[in-house]
């Protein structure tokens, strides 16, 4: 069996903040995943219900797989300062460049090196688009433990993490934590803080989650969730913002953040943390493409991001009346040529039932 130390050195040399190795074995939570899917808690993310047998067992993804190499990148999790009036906030992971591209490029380099060192073995790089239960595998590799918000908590840097894997036929000595303890204890801050009640201990109902609603949900958003969305234009960080493991300390402040995830101010406020919702309301497809170039935000189509902007704008109007903004929403609601998703959101905001 190959020692994990040289494998981890390859990973850390590529700038990953943590790395480990887990055995390629079936998930211990296969039944829970099936129940979650059967209950429809994945919402419109139909792809989660595809290839469940692969998610449950990495050996189906890569025949004869023996090990899974797991890596983690850290992205900025510092507190937001005061944002401009009318700002639509962006989840922190999406403020920099597209992590799929940057992680996969480095994982492929590692896989190429290992293929030369171990000819005849298979190495397949994956970054969350592949059907792998990556947080469970990362915990098994000793990178951390799963919190009640279902995110991986790494002891020294918290949960501001992006995960990637290399599934391989090479048998590598697994790395494990000495003591895998519950990182949450009696804490329920993430559960209490979630504005839409999406979180129960170690489970998230995606159909109520702000991140799902603003990124993955491609139809009308039920008005019952509008207030909870607040000023979140794309994604949500609330459960991580309140987590004790993510509060600034000397240790977490010294942890490195990959430069690719530094906020990009182009088209946004000077911090790169938000867009002006008034501008987003009037975006064309060309505007969207320009704003989302090299960003993981391109997952949100034009009608989705403008729908989100309508909801955020409506929430601002509840706090402080703005005649010009109200007139813009009224115009959207009255325009039969408007995109259906955007118009319906405006109708729900301007004429609540």
Looking at the annotation, which residues are catalytic?
A: 128
- Kind plus residue range of the DSSP H or E element containing 276: strand 274-276
CA–CA distance, 267 with 297 (Å, rounded to integer): 13
Element counts in the chain: helices (H) and strands (E):
16, 11
Q: In sequence order, which ranges of 144-265 are alpha helices (DSSP H)?
A: 189-193, 210-215, 226-229, 238-241, 250-254
**Strand pairing of 232-234 and 87-90?**
parallel
CA–CA distance, 284 with 291 (Å, rounded to integer): 11
- Kind plus residue range of the DSSP H or E element containing 153: strand 152-153
Q: What are phi and psi of 85, to 5 degrees?
A: -60, 135
- Kind plus residue range of the DSSP H or E element containing 233: strand 232-234
Query: Can you read off the two tokens belonging to residue 274?
Result: 């938000």
Sheet holding 18-23, edge to edge: 18-23, 67-74, 161-168, 123-126
Of 128, 325, 147, give the one whose Cα is nearest residue 216.
128
């Amino acid at each position: 069996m190959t020692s994990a130390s040289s494998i981890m050195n390859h990973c850390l040399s590529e700038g990953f903040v943590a790395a480990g190795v887990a055995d390629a074995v079936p998930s211990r939570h296969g039944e829970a995943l099936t129940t979650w899917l059967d209950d429809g808690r994945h919402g419109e993310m139909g792809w989660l219900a595809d290839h469940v047998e692969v998610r449950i067992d990495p050996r189906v993804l890569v025949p004869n797989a023996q090990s899974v190499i797991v890596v983690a990148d850290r992205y900025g999790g510092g507190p937001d300062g005061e944002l401009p009036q009318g700002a639509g906030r962006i989840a922190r992971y999406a403020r920099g460049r597209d992590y799929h591209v940057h992680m996969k490029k480095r994982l492929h380099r590692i896989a190429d090196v290992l293929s030369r060192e171990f000819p005849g073995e298979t190495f397949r790089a994956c970054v969350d688009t592949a059907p792998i239960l990556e947080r469970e595998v990362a915990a098994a590799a000793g990178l951390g433990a799963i919190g009640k918000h279902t995110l991986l908590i790494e002891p020294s840097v918290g949960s501001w993490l992006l995960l990637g894997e290399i599934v391989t036929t090479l048998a590598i000595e697994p790395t494990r934590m000495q003591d895998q303890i519950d990182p949450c204890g009696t804490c329920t801050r993430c559960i209490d803080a979630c504005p839409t009640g999406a979180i129960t201990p170690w489970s998230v109902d995606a159909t109520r989650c702000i991140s799902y609603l603003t990124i993955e949900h491609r139809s009308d958003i039920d008005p019952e969730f509008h207030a909870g969305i607040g000023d979140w234009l794309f994604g949500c960080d609330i459960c991580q913002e309140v987590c004790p493991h993510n509060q600034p300390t000397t240790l977490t402040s010294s942890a490195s953040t990959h430069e690719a995830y530094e906020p990009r101010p182009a088209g946004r406020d000077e911090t790169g943390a938000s867009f002006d919702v008034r501008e987003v309301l009037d975006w064309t497809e060309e505007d969207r493409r320009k704003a989302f170039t090299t960003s993981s935000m391109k997952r949100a189509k034009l009608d989705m991001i403008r729908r989100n902007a309508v909801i955020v704008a409506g929430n601002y109007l509840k706090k402080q009346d703005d005649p010009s903004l109200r007139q813009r929403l009224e115009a959207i609601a009255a325009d039969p040529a408007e995109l259906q998703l955007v118009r319906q959101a405006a109708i729900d905001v301007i004429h609540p039932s």
